[in-house]
């Protein structure tokens, strides 16, 4: 339980945040929570599973589009409930990840820089595809996606205001966060470490490297798809940028800046970068992106463990907690 305390503490900090924030910042924070969830998914597959996925937005985008299509009733007009949309979105991302993962990892498979370039190319292909798929809005995307409806059995309970949206997201995101924290410390987490560092030895011990790789890839994709689905209910808008190259590399930067090998650092990396972006881009304008690029470069060279992970693990050592 001890190692879950930091996550619970962070969750409580978020829970009291609306007391001090304006409505605008509460809704911003809701979006940041979703990005944080997305960062957790990349941290899982990259930092723990050792699979450098340059196209994590692919799964986010698939979740977003499936959610949009389902809740707008574009395929099944009778089944437009939020929960059905969420289930469909997660299923779609997981299935896509299993198919893609099987293609990429089966047999000799590809890894390292090859994998990075291939996943990047897939993100570009999908972005192109969605920009030109006119039934799904093409370049303009899909508008007017209904908000979350957390009522059941005929009762409707739609979330329109920023406070209920924020707390719903907070609970969902932190439940997943806690789940991942437990998972990465379980025997499965041990297997992931082995998968990252010595996959060939894992095979000697009788584990199926392919199955393990597929499982972590699919789990991460499912979480990313779930984040995408949540995102469109809050934003009301699904566009090709959600599935593409730019968002993919942004997620990578959040996670690398924060620290890919620590869930907490990746999560905070996403939130800190997004927060800094909306805050500093007002002050510094276009210089902000320049600074971000330089900071990213410097952090990769000087602090490869991440800007947030390095001080956090030093602090954790002092407090005798394993983060």
Residues within the interface to other proteins (CB under 8 A): 52, 54, 103-104, 108, 110, 112-114, 116-118, 120-122, 124-125, 128-129, 131-132, 245, 249, 252-253, 256, 286-287, 289-290, 292-298, 300-301, 304
**Minimum CB distance to other proteins smaller for 77 or for 285:** 285
CB of 111 to other proteins, least distance (A): 9
Q: What secondary structure, in 3-state letters, does the chain show?
A: CHHHHHHHHHHHHHHHHHHHCCHHHHHHHHHHHHHHHHHHHHHHHHHHCCCCCCCCHHHHHHHHHHHHHHHCCCCCCCCCCHHHHHHHHHHHHHHHHHHHHHHHHCCCCCCHHHHHHHHHHHHHHHHHHHHCCHHHCHHHCECCCCCCECCCCCCCCECCCHHHHHHHHHHHHHHHHHHHHHHHHCHHHHHHHHHHHCHHHHHHCCCCHHHHHHHHHHHHHHHHHHHHHHHHHHHCCECHHHHCHHHHHHHHHHHHHHCCCCHHHHHHHHHHHHHHHHHHHHHHCCHHHHHHHHHHHHHHHHCCCCCCHHHHHHHHHHCCCCC
Between 17 and 116, name the residue whose CB sits nearer to other proteins: 116
CB of 3 to other proteins, least distance (A): 28
Instruction: Kindly state the smallest distance separating residue 139's Cβ from other proteins, in Å.
Output: 11
**Residue closer to other proteins, measured from CB, 81 or 128:** 128
Nearer to other proteins, 271 or 292 (CB): 292
- Least distance to other proteins, CB of residue 29, Å: 26
Closest approach, Cβ 240 to other proteins, in A, equals 12
Residue 75 or 300: the one with the smaller Cβ distance to other proteins is: 300
Taking the complex as a whole, how short is the minimal distance between the CB of residue 124 and other proteins, in angstroms? 6
- Give the nearer residue to other proteins in terms of CB position, either 188 or 296: 296
């Amino acid at each position: 339980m001890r190692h879950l305390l930091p996550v619970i503490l962070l969750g409580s900090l978020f829970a009291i945040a609306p007391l001090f924030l304006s409505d605008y910042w509460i809704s911003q924070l809701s979006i940041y929570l979703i990005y944080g969830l997305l960062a957790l998914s990349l941290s899982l597959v990259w930092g723990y599973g050792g699979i450098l996925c340059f196209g994590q937005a692919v799964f986010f985008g698939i979740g977003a589009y499936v959610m949009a299509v389902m809740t707008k009733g574009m395929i099944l007009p009778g089944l437009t409930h939020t929960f059905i949309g969420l289930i469909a979105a997660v299923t779609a991302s997981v299935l896509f990840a299993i198919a893609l993962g099987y293609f990429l990892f089966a047999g000799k498979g590809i890894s390292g820089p090859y994998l990075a370039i291939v996943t990047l190319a897939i993100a570009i292909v999908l972005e192109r595809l969605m920009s030109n798929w006119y039934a799904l809005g093409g370049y303009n995307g899909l508008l007017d996606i209904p908000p979350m409806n957390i009522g059941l059995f005929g009762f409707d309970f739609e979330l329109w205001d920023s406070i209920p949206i924020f707390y719903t997201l907070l609970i969902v995101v932190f439940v997943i966060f806690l789940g991942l924290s437990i998972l990465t410390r379980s025997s499965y987490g041990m297997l992931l470490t082995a998968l990252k560092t010595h996959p060939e030895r894992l095979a000697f011990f009788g584990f199926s490297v392919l199955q393990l790789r597929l499982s972590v890839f699919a789990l991460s994709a499912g979480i990313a798809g779930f984040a995408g689905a949540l995102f469109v209910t809050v934003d009301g808008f699904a566009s090709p940028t959600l599935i593409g190259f730019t968002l993919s590399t942004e997620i990578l930067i959040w996670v690398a800046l924060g620290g890919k090998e620590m869930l907490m650092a990746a999560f905070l990396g996403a939130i800190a970068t997004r927060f800094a972006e909306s805050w500093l881009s007002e002050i510094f304008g276009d210089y902000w992106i320049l600074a971000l690029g330089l900071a990213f470069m410097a952090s990769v060279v000087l602090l490869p463990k991440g800007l947030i992970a390095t001080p956090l693990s030093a602090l954790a050592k002092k407090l005798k907690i394993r983060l």
